[in-house]
Amino acid sequence: MTKNEFLLQLKNELKKNNISDLDDIISEYEQHFAFKLADGFSEEEIAAKLGDPVELASQFIPNVSENKYGGRKIVTVIGMIFADLFAGAFFLMLFIFAAVMGIVTVAAAIIGICLLVGLNFYGLIPGMPYLCAFIFAVSFFAFAVLSTAAFLYFVVFTRQLMRSYKRFHINVIAGSSGKAALPSLPVHPLLSHKFQRRLRMLALSSLTMLAVSLVSGYIISAIIAGNLEFWHVWGWFVK
């Protein structure tokens, strides 16, 4: 084997094993040839003494030496592409859900403001006494706050889920090419106790507020209208 044949074979084998810094390694062997040639050895002799390029290249694989991962990695990568497609669709659904939650939150807040200050665009909000409108405005605000808390948690949850999936993805690929795997990440978000407590407080108090204002709103409306089905009295669903 000549110098060029040896170096080419070594380079190809290193590439197969996904070794980084190819040129660095090759230049060391080039120098070895240069020294030995200067001492009067032939290229064939030097190559023979260096050893089998395939065997040498396998020794550059970190930690694992004899295993060959060439075929397995391709299969794994193809498998991961399909897994990514499904996961991608799933995450897209989560994003859309988050967007809907955001829009609903904002809408609830706007309706609350309209009820409170008596704005009524295009007559969209059915008529009712101001007292009832005030109580229902409180319900809408409470709902907006509750939905904000849910939205916040959902965003954090989705982010953690994506991180966890990304780590899984990296580890699967690393595992198939003989590299060390990183510790896997938990699926549920790791929130600080302070943030958790505040979020829970916010959710619970707004939920209570929502329930109280809805029930009291219904009772007061029923009393004012003199009918349990007060919406008929105020002609809400009539064109």
Partner 1 sequence: MNTQYKKGVLELCVMSILKRRDCYGYEISEYLSKYIDIADGTVYPILRKLKSDGLVTTYLSEDSCGPPRKYYSLTDLGLKTYEADKKEYLSFAKTIETLLEDEDDDKK
Side chain identity at residue 219, one-letter code? I
**Binding to partner 1 by residue 140, rule CB under 8 A?**
no
Cα–Cα dist 113/121, whole Å: 12
Listed in sequence order, the residues at least 6 apart from 134 whose beta carbon sits closer than 8 Å to its beta carbon are: 115, 116
Give the one residue of 29, 69, 168, 230 binding partner 1; rule: CB under 8 A: 29
What is the smallest separation between the CB atom of 152 and partner 1, expressed in angstroms?
Answer: 42
Pick the piece of the chain touching partner 1 (CB under 8 A) from 28-36, 93-101, 148-156, 216-224: 28-36
Within the chain, how many helices (H) and strands (E) appear?
8, 0
Of the candidates 129, 140, 139, the one whose C-alpha atom is nearest the C-alpha of residue 221 is 129
SS3 76: helix
Q: Which long-range contacts (CB under 8 A, 24 or more apart) does 220-229 make?
A: 220/131, 220/132, 220/135, 221/128, 221/132, 224/129, 224/131, 224/132
In the window 49-78, what residues touch partner 1 (CB under 8 A)?
A: 49-52, 55-56, 59-60, 62, 65
Pick the piece of the chain touching partner 1 (CB under 8 A) from 24-32, 90-98, 186-194, 199-207: 24-32
What is the smallest separation between the CB atom of 28 and partner 1, expressed in angstroms?
Answer: 5
Cβ-based nearer residue to partner 1, 51 or 88: 51
The count of residues interacting with partner 1 (CB under 8 A) is: 19
Residue identified by tokens 């090419």 is: 177
Cβ-based nearer residue to partner 1, 25 or 101: 25
What is the smallest separation between the CB atom of 59 and partner 1, expressed in angstroms?
Answer: 4
Pick the piece of the chain touching partner 1 (CB under 8 A) from 47-55, 117-125, 178-186, 221-229: 47-55
In the window 195-224, what residues touch partner 1 (CB under 8 A)?
A: none
What is the smallest separation between the CB atom of 172 and partner 1, expressed in angstroms?
Answer: 23
Cα–Cα dist 51/72, whole Å: 27
Cβ-based nearer residue to partner 1, 2 or 227: 2
Confirm if 147 and 104 have CB atoms less than 8 A apart: yes
Residues lying near partner 1 in the complex (CB under 8 A) are found at 25, 27-29, 31-32, 34-35, 46, 49-52, 55-56, 59-60, 62, 65
